[in-house]
Amino acid sequence: MSTPRVWGLMAEFDKPADLVRACRAAREAGYRRMDAYTPFPMEAVFDALELHKNAMPIIVLCGGILGGLGGLALQYWVAVVAYPLNIGGKPFFSLPAFIPVTFECTILLAALFCVLGMLALNGLPMPYHPVFNVPSFALATRDKFFLCIESADPRFDLEGTRKFLEQFGPRSVSEVEP
Amino acid sequence: MAVETRATELHPEAHRPPVIEPGYSFGTVTDKISSIVLTRGAPRGWWLGFVAVFSMTMMLFYSLGYLVVIGTGIWGVNVPVGWGFAIINFVWWIGIGHAGTLISAILLLLRQDWRTSINRFAEAMTLFAVAQAGIFPLVHVGRPWLGYWLFPYPNTMGTWPQFRSPLMWDVFAVSTYATVSALFWFIGLIPDLATLRDRADNRAAKIIYGMLAMGWRGSAQHWHRYETAYLLLAGLATPLVLSVHTVVSFDFAIGIVPGWHSTIFPPYFVAGAIYAGFAMVLLIAIPLRWVYGLEDFITMRHLQNMAKVMMATGLIVFYGYIMEAFFGWYGGNKYEWYMTKNRVVGPYGPTYWALIFCNGLAPQIFWFAWARSSIACLFIVSIIVSIGMWLERFVIVVTSLHRDFVPSSWGMYYPTRWDLMTYFGTIGFFITLIFLFIRLLPMISIFEMRTILPEAEVKEEHA
């Protein structure tokens, strides 16, 4: 497989509204392999790129269920099977006394699944990414807004896509080296 | 604009200071906060303060080292008061941490935009306060090098922890709290670490911040998952923070010692924790905004709101004291009633009255708007409240234990200089960590500040 000459085309915008307009138009024009880069989370960009649902809630739910059941099972096994102790005549399986630790284990596993799941789905840590080859991209974490249409998109065409992006008044449109 | 003027006329209270002063853009907000870390250098005051608090940290390590060599006999604890400073300080520190989680999680879920400029350093405060809290039970066990025995793990002794004990619940609650607070803090930092990576000129700084930012590039797909994850974490941290001080209060309430065996403990411990924590947030915020000129970001609005939260939680705590005394009498148990009288007029009576003054009366000044707007008043009352909340734990731990059921086993408790050195040492260690934090990491969440700027709003021309 031959490596493509460019990874994508990156348009830089000053105003968030211009980026939203460009994202929406690109989506309507049929582009799919693209991403916006913003200095803060923007609901309007999520809408324009049709990002609605993600897998985070279900991952966290799984973590919570696993943590809760695991914590309770641990206490049951310790208190009933491995090391039964008579504490003030209470039953070996003293459910009310086991609730605090079960609860803490639920929260702990849910939180760990949440953080690690978010990083895994986002593919972080990622030591190298082509978008950083655009010199002005350092401003994506300050005050500039970027839209990158990737050359992997079937509708991508260096000239046509450049013309398409330029109609939204970007500061610049640059080729992204792979 | 006209509507706003009218609202001001109708409700004078509507004319409140803004959460961020006007005139800032994405770029200037970013530069102002990141320059504190990257370019401005450490002011002379930072160095002077750092030397002072670092000396106190060394005092802490010295007293802990001596403790490990000699044993807990160097402290004032003995029969009948076996808990003493170690547990008082543990509860005090862990309570202080609670305000950070409240600000970062609960106020996020309630969509309070004034949390934005104070959440980062409040979360850092949580983390550092929990670190101080963790020292005390660990060294109080006597042989801290065996502290890992508290965790359930297969061992050659064939033993396992006893999960019906509130002290075990404490191990799980505090370690979960420390872990989740650290995760929440770090997740919030990632986009700002990316900003520092992109803004740093120094190559070493670029590499270190770059590694910590993990290649964050602000992609919309990432932000989308990030926002969901952040909200879910806030949703998890909210019940967690309420559970932590509840479990800490169980350490007392599950016991049958007079004055401890009380169902009011969990709610009033949680309220007290938030109360003490907001006092500490104010004690940190007021010097910070002054030294670093952040009055535009941490405005009077923030300080006033914190004063109101302090007053509300202070009233809950005060209600707790009144109810404690009432049930001591109404419960009809002679040990409880003796304990109540002994607490008020016994040998430790002055600490009780100091506590009532510090926590019950002093914050009532915040009913007046001028008091909430006076920096000096806010600072002084915050100090008084911090002292008051420490006294609360002293009164609970010491007055209950020193005279319980059998008069022949009564005794007095006095802290030794090692107790005091350890306690003030942790204050120094806490401030040392805060000093390092404000030098090395952005103390205000930059990306969240950008979202509250007017230019962040996108007006859609079509739906």
Looking at CA atoms only, how far is residue B400 from chain A in angstroms? 23
Looking at CA atoms only, how far is residue B32 from chain A in angstroms? 11
Q: Which of residues 65-124 of A touch B (CB under 8 A)?
A: 74-75, 78-79, 82-83, 85, 87, 90, 94, 97-98, 100-101, 103-105, 107-108, 110-112, 114-115, 117-119, 121-122, 124
Residues of chain B with Cβ-Cβ distance to A51 below 8 Å are: 220-221, 224
Provide the whole-model pTM: 0.91
pLDDT in tens, B284-305: 999 988 888 888 889 899 999 9
The kind and range of the H/E element at B41 are none
Looking at CA atoms only, how far is residue A124 from chain B in angstroms? 6
Residues of chain B with Cβ-Cβ distance to A84 below 8 Å are: none
**Nearest Cα residue in chain A from B447:** A40
- For A163, B157, B268, B316, B326, the CA distances from B322, given in Å and listed in that order, are 74, 48, 11, 10, 6
Distance CA A66, CA A72 (A): 10
Of the residues B458, B460, B461, the best mutation for testing chain A's interface (the one with the most A CB atoms within 10 Å of its CB) is B458
Q: Is the pLDDT of residue B193 over 90?
A: yes
Give the DSSP per-residue string, B119-183: HHHHHHHHHHHHHHHHHHHHHHTS-GGGGGGGS----TT-----TTSHHHHHHHHHHHHHHHHHH
Q: Do A42 and B179 touch (CB under 8 A)?
A: no
Our count of domains for chain A comes to 2
pLDDT in tens, B79-98: 899 999 999 999 999 999 88
Residues of chain A with Cβ-Cβ distance to B197 below 8 Å are: 141
Q: What pLDDT is attached to residue B109? A: 87
In 10 A of CB B354, how many CB atoms?
16
Residues of chain B with Cβ-Cβ distance to A131 below 8 Å are: 217
Residues of chain B with Cβ-Cβ distance to A85 below 8 Å are: 162
Q: Which of residues 26-65 of A touch B (CB under 8 A)?
A: 35-42, 44-46, 49, 51, 54-57, 60
Considering the domain architecture, whether residues A91 and A117 belong to the same structural domain is answered as yes
Q: Do B198 and A141 touch (CB under 8 A)?
A: yes
Task: Work out the mean pLDDT of chain B and round it to a whole number.
Answer: 89
Kind of pairing, strands A172-176 and A145-150?
A: unpaired
Select from A20, A104, A115 the Cβ nearest to the Cβ of B229.
Answer: A115
- Domain contains A72: yes
Give the DSSP per-residue string, B220-252: HHHHHHHHHHHHHHHHHHHHHHHHHHHHHHHHH
Q: Do A114 and B161 touch (CB under 8 A)?
A: no
Q: What pLDDT is attached to residue B128? A: 94
Q: Would you place residue B9 in the very low, low, confident or very high pLDDT band (cuts 50, 70, 90)?
A: very low
Looking at CA atoms only, how far is residue A157 from chain B in angstroms? 22
Provide block-wise average pLDDT over 10 residues at a time, chain A (178 residues).
72 90 89 90 88 91 96 95 92 94 96 95 89 88 90 86 87 86
The kind and range of the H/E element at B193 are helix B166-199
Instruction: Provide the CA B266 distance to its chain's centre, in angstroms.
Output: 17
Q: What pLDDT is attached to residue A1? A: 43
Select from A55, A108, A128 the Cβ nearest to the Cβ of B179.
Answer: A108
pLDDT in tens, B361-412: 999 999 999 999 999 999 999 999 999 999 999 999 999 999 989 999 999 9
Q: Would you place residue B117 in the very low, low, confident or very high pLDDT band (cuts 50, 70, 90)?
A: confident
Q: Is the pLDDT of residue B461 over 70?
A: no
Q: Please give the residue range of the domain that contains residue A168.
A: 8-53+129-176
Looking at CA atoms only, how far is residue B197 from chain A in angstroms? 9
The kind and range of the H/E element at A92 are none
Q: Do B217 and A132 touch (CB under 8 A)?
A: yes
Bond into A127 cis (ω within 30): no
- Whether the ipTM is more than 0.90: the answer is yes
Q: What average pLDDT score do residues B316-326 get?
A: 93
Q: What pLDDT is attached to residue B101? A: 87
Name the nearest CA neighbour of B275 among B250, B308, B300, B233. B308
**Nearest Cα residue in chain B from A106:** B236
Distance CA B320, CA B324 (A): 6
Please tell me if residue A128 touches chain B, with a CB cutoff of 8 Å. yes
Distance CA B307, CA B322 (A): 22
Residues of chain A with Cβ-Cβ distance to B234 below 8 Å are: none
Extract the tokens encoding A65.
């269920």
Q: Do B163 and A139 touch (CB under 8 A)?
A: no
pLDDT in tens, B198-239: 888 888 989 999 999 999 998 999 999 999 999 999 999 999
Q: Do A42 and B223 touch (CB under 8 A)?
A: yes
Looking at CA atoms only, how far is residue A32 from chain B in angstroms? 13
Per-domain boundaries in chain B:
25-151+163-454
- For A34, A119, B173, B187, B449, the CA distances from A122, given in Å and listed in that order, are 15, 5, 30, 13, 23
- Domain contains A3: no
Q: What pLDDT is attached to residue B346? A: 92
Select from A16, A137, A141 the Cβ nearest to the Cβ of B458.
Answer: A16
Select from A41, A45, A137 the Cβ nearest to the Cβ of B226.
Answer: A41
Residues of chain A with Cβ-Cβ distance to B176 below 8 Å are: 104-105, 107-108
Select from B25, B186, B220 the Cβ nearest to the Cβ of A45.
Answer: B220
Q: What average pLDDT score do residues B408-435 get?
A: 94
Q: Do B169 and A104 touch (CB under 8 A)?
A: yes
Residue at which a domain ends, from A121, A137, A163: A121
Q: What pLDDT is attached to residue A15? A: 87
Looking at CA atoms only, how far is residue A84 from chain B in angstroms? 9
Q: What pLDDT is attached to residue B327? A: 92
Q: Do A46 and B233 touch (CB under 8 A)?
A: no
Q: Do B236 and A36 touch (CB under 8 A)?
A: no
Q: Which of residues 137-166 of A touch B (CB under 8 A)?
A: 137-143
Considering the domain architecture, whether residues A62 and A116 belong to the same structural domain is answered as yes
- Domain contains A2: no
Q: What average pLDDT score do residues B414-428 get?
A: 95
Q: What pLDDT is attached to residue B2? A: 43
